Amino acid sequence: MASLKEIKGRIASVKNTLKITSAMKLVASSKLRKAQGAITGMLPYQKGLEGILSDLMNGGSADPRYFAPVPQDKPLKVAVVCFSSNSSLCGAFNSNVVRKTLALLGSHAAAGNEVTVYPVGKKIADAIVKAGYTPAGDYTAMSAKPSYEPAAALAEELVKGYMEGRFDTVELVYNHFKSTASQVTTQETFLPMQEFSAGQADVDFIIEPSREEQIALLLPKVLKLKIYTVLLDSVAAEHAARTVAMQVATDNADQLLSDLNLEYNKGRQQKITSEILDLVGGAME
């Protein structure tokens, strides 16, 4: 059994840890509210823009290269864009993305495909380098402070590579914010784009300039907004995962502190009882 001094030292250490995890939970909760507000406000806008594009394409045409099927008769040139955080202490948030990304890269390697990796976030960038890949750029700042301009620049780089034939397909891997307690690791295709469904309403719009010109204008905007929305989604999922992780750590520290206090009190009681017995024994002699 540990001495009372050792137990007292452990109690002090756990109390300090408890203060840290509690503070980190509060900070993560505050950041989560802001990030959740950002993604909640962005999603309807993104869906609305896609809806407008869908209505325009129901009667117009777009550059078919955006929707070209992925070649099946040759090795592919693939761009993989993966999103993580820059820091840890967020549960399985980063490990889930790393695991899914490495599995995807492994499947492409087995198929003989040429892969270019765009890691957004320090944790995934480190994992990519460790796995033997060279990142296509440094995008850690995007994860730290998400904003539209760098996300749009990354989207332009991906679209340019795709349109020039450097990529046959562009794939995204990220954690989707479903709720505070649930973050879903997601893999989806960015390019080629999926065919939009027909417009919801059969309305004869009067459009100036032409449908084709409007579609050509909107398509790049939709793609840029997609990358930005995924970035916001990943950031919200990160803060949700960290909030939950710090809550679990705080609860565990509380339980450990309770156990240590109980052990300390039992030890003190045993020591006092032993001292009383020694005094009684000495008096009887």
Q: 130-151: buried (b, 16+ CB within 10 Å) or exposed (e) per residue?
A: eeebebbeebbebbeebeeebb
10-19, 131-140, 264-273: lowest mean pLDDT where? Answer: 264-273
196-200, 212-216, 239-243: lowest mean pLDDT where? Answer: 196-200
| Rounded average pLDDT over 104-123 | 96
Give the pLDDT confidence score for residue 198 in this predicted structure.
47
116-127: pLDDT as tens digits: 999 999 999 999
133-191: pLDDT as tens digits: 999 999 999 998 899 999 999 999 999 999 999 999 999 999 999 998 999 999 999 99
Tell me: pLDDT of 60 over 70.
no
The CB-side HSE value for 179 (13 A sphere, CA atoms) comes to: 2
The pTM for the full model equals 0.86
| DSSP code of residue 83 | E
CB 167 within 8 A of CB 79: yes
pLDDT class for 196, splitting at 50, 70, 90?
low
19-52: pLDDT as tens digits: 999 999 999 999 999 999 999 999 889 888 888 8
The CATH label, of 3.40.1380.10, 3.40.50.1370, 1.20.950.20, 3.90.1150.10, for the domain at 25-196+204-244 is: 3.40.1380.10
Tell me: pLDDT of 200 over 70.
no
Residue extents of the structural domains in the chain: 25-196+204-244
| Rounded average pLDDT over 270-278 | 76
> Please, which residues have CB within 8 angstroms of residue 147's CB and are 6 or more apart in sequence?
none
Nearest to 35 by CA among 23, 47, 27: 27
207-231: pLDDT as tens digits: 777 778 888 888 999 999 999 999 9
Omega before 150 within 30 of 0, i.e. cis: no
Omega before 119 within 30 of 0, i.e. cis: no
